[in-house]
Chain A
Amino acid sequence: MPKVIIDGKEFIAKENETVLNVAERNGIYIPRYCYHPALSIAGNCRMCLVEIEKMPKLQIACATTVTDGMVIHTQTEKVKKARQDVLEFLLLNHPLDCPICDQVGECYLQDYYMEYGLKKSRIDLKDKNRKPKRRDIGKHLILDNERCILCTRCVRFCEEVTKTSELFINSRGDHSFIDIKTEEKLDNDYSLNIADICPVGAFTSKDFRFKERVYRLSSTSSICLSCATGCKIKVQHNNGKIYRILPDPNIYTNTWICDNGRMSYKITAGPDRLTKSIIKSEEHHLNKAIIKLFDILKEAKEKNLKIAILLSDYLSIEDNFALYYLGFEILKTDLIYASKEKEQKIEDGILINKDKTPNSNAVSQISKLYGIKKYEDLKDCDLLIGFYDDIEKLNIPKNKSVALSYKADKEYDNLIAIKTYFETEGSFINWQYFLRKTAPSVSAPTDTISVYDLCLKISELFGYYPKEKELNKIFNELKYKTED
């Protein structure tokens, strides 16, 4: 294990570690553009130049492997001047787009300029190189070649991560620019990660464009529920509105997230968000709706009608178990069904799972523990309560269903407006058997309710007041992993 000295402090490095990694691991930040931990080393931005004793020229930290006894300096005048000069070169032809550029607040050029630059521009605006701007590159991205600093993170991402090689550098010198085949669209399933890794405002997300300033966003750590991979994400929001989702890179599950997962926050708002419950085709405020639902259930119980409950791979552990409790303990029905086990694997070699539901591994365990029937066994019933997506998939007659839904759908007589997991907590077990929880980032519409609370309220109306312990005991029975 090589020993190195950085800025006067001694550190122990790993075999074949680079100066940049050793430094970063030990709290010494070296500025960089082209280096990214998940991509190959390019060494072209020259921002990470550091002074290494016994070497006459400054060396780039990202590509220099440490040797035993290496002495490195990151704060000498020589290094500071190099950073200042590299910044000057980077900003030379850079357009003054800050007022209209989405990158503001997370722009490496702005941030490094304030930290290491602060040099006045020495070129006339009219002498700056002009390049194509506002290029519609694909479903999700806009490319501005003028802002681009040619760090090649995007090119390397397409080559190494998605292995689709759409992007390339056209021409050479300061006329070079990131390009794509004219009729081709950059719409591999991970394109929006490019907007994340682009250190400047060259690649921007169409969805986020011009909507909010980054420095006004709050970040909430949560998980994606678009498939069984259950990527860790950061939900970014301001004033009760979600603006975008970013990946929360971790060693367990994901460095990136897929475009589909990134757009999943759209279910919270939009024209077809269900904001009020519908009972017998009439819209009601929440409390009224709950009472009316209770009336329907009470009547059904008295008439000994067949009431079915569907557990759902889309819903959280808490919500599923509350539904089970409602069905088994309160409604005294044994017509409780769940999905059969699903095959789980990463189907594209990157992140997207064959199982498109987030909680199969929890529900299948609950099914085994409590002898739950399978969806296939569902034949006949008079009334069914379940999650909207499941009811749709199983083709159950809409007039018999009470669908728990985020989406409005005129075809249904009974829809209960529920909170999404962007608005409430929920525990899920992903394909790796990690137990993780969503965290609310925004408030749900006033007349929505979580499935858990709905079951609780109905239970109360039936005269039962289950203790939290009762509904949470499932967590002691489930098998799962936690991160170290």
Chain B
Amino acid sequence: MLSEKIKQNLKNIISKYEKKESAIISILHEIQKEKNYIEDSDISELAKLTELPYSKIKAVLTFYTMFNSKKVGKYHIQICRNISCHMAGAKKIEKYISEKLGIREGEVTKDLLFSYSTVECLGSCGTAPVIMINETYYENVDEKKIDEIIEKLKVAK
């Protein structure tokens, strides 16, 4: 279900673009900001409201990997697994996070706060290993830093 805020904001977002269709990625980002994932029913609703074909919107949703089609944690941890982060110990970081939270890739913690996935190069290789939680970068991470970050997030509003 799209929120009222999104529905009211649609015209505004679309006005920034030269064609209605071009606003799709931006709108999907907005929807994801609210509940950290995008449901199929959101796409159906969006198709009706914008009068764009469902197929075009769903095609975009499934093509771009930042969009979550399945429910994720309130804080979705994305661990870079590409070359420089790999050399800097990304696998150890992944193992640590997985064991610390008690989940595997694709799963969500029982308190619904955390989930993780491995992603490709985040463009900050000089400060490897790098992780991204929702849309925030954390660079030069080690086990200690991860402990701090997770504790902070657990108590955050």
Per the CB under 8 Å rule, do A and B touch in the complex?
A: yes
- A binding-site residues for B, Cβ under 8 Å: 165-172, 179-182, 184
Contacting residues, chain B, for A169 (C-beta < 8 A): 59
Q: Is B54 an interface residue (CB 8 A)?
A: yes
Q: Which of B55, B62, B63 contacts A181 (CB 8 A)?
A: B55
Interface pair B55/A172, CB less than 8 Å apart: no
Interface pair A168/B44, CB less than 8 Å apart: no
Interface residue tally of chain B, by bracket?
10 to 19
Contacting residues, chain B, for A180 (C-beta < 8 A): 55
Give Cα distance in the complex from A182 to B39, angstroms.
Answer: 13
Q: Is B35 an interface residue (CB 8 A)?
A: no
Contacting residues, chain A, for B44 (C-beta < 8 A): 181
Give Cα distance in the complex from A180 to B53, angstroms.
Answer: 11
Query: Given A165-B53, A181-B58, A172 and B40 touching (CB < 8 A)?
Result: no
Give Cα distance in the complex from A180 to B62, angstroms.
Answer: 13
B contact face: mostly helix, strand, loop, or mixed = helix
Give Cα distance in the complex from A184 to B43, angstroms.
Answer: 14
A410–chain B nearest beta-carbon distance, Å: 46
Interface pair B63/A172, CB less than 8 Å apart: yes
Q: Is B33 an interface residue (CB 8 A)?
A: no
Give Cα distance in the complex from A166 to B59, angstroms.
Answer: 11
B41–chain A nearest beta-carbon distance, Å: 11
Nearest chain A residue, comparing its CB with the CB of B64: A172
Give Cα distance in the complex from A170 to B63, angstroms.
Answer: 7
Q: Which of B53, B56, B58 contacts A170 (CB 8 A)?
A: B58
Interface pair B59/A170, CB less than 8 Å apart: yes
A153–chain B nearest beta-carbon distance, Å: 16
Q: Which of B54, B55, B62 contacts A171 (CB 8 A)?
A: B62
Contacting residues, chain B, for A184 (C-beta < 8 A): 54
Interface pair A181/B54, CB less than 8 Å apart: yes
Q: Which of A166, A167, A171, A182 contacts B63 (CB 8 A)?
A: A171
Contacting residues, chain B, for A171 (C-beta < 8 A): 62-63
Give Cα distance in the complex from A181 to B45, angstroms.
Answer: 13
A172–chain B nearest beta-carbon distance, Å: 5
Give Cα distance in the complex from A417 to B54, angstroms.
Answer: 49
Q: Which of A165, A172, A179, A182 contacts B56 (CB 8 A)?
A: A165
Give Cα distance in the complex from A184 to B54, angstroms.
Answer: 10
Task: Identify which of B44, B53, B54, B55 gathers the most chain A CB atoms within 10 Å of its CB.
Answer: B55
Interface pair B55/A165, CB less than 8 Å apart: yes
Contacting residues, chain A, for B40 (C-beta < 8 A): 182
Give Cα distance in the complex from A169 to B58, angstroms.
Answer: 9
Interface pair A179/B63, CB less than 8 Å apart: no
Contacting residues, chain B, for A168 (C-beta < 8 A): 55-56, 58-59
Contacting residues, chain B, for A172 (C-beta < 8 A): 62-63
21 CB-based A-B contacts, threshold 8 Å: A165-B53, A165-B55, A165-B56, A166-B55, A167-B55, A168-B55, A168-B56, A168-B58, A168-B59, A170-B58, A170-B59, A170-B62, A171-B63, A172-B62, A172-B63, A180-B55, A181-B44, A181-B54, A181-B58, A182-B40, A184-B54
Give Cα distance in the complex from A180 to B40, angstroms.
Answer: 12
Q: Sorted from nearest, which 6 A-B pairs have the closest CB atoms?
A: A168-B55, A168-B59, A165-B53, A170-B62, A171-B62, A181-B54
Give Cα distance in the complex from A166 to B58, angstroms.
Answer: 11
A79–chain B nearest beta-carbon distance, Å: 32
Taking CB atoms and an 8 Å cut-off, the chain B residues in 58-84 that contact chain A are: 58-59, 62-63
B48–chain A nearest beta-carbon distance, Å: 12
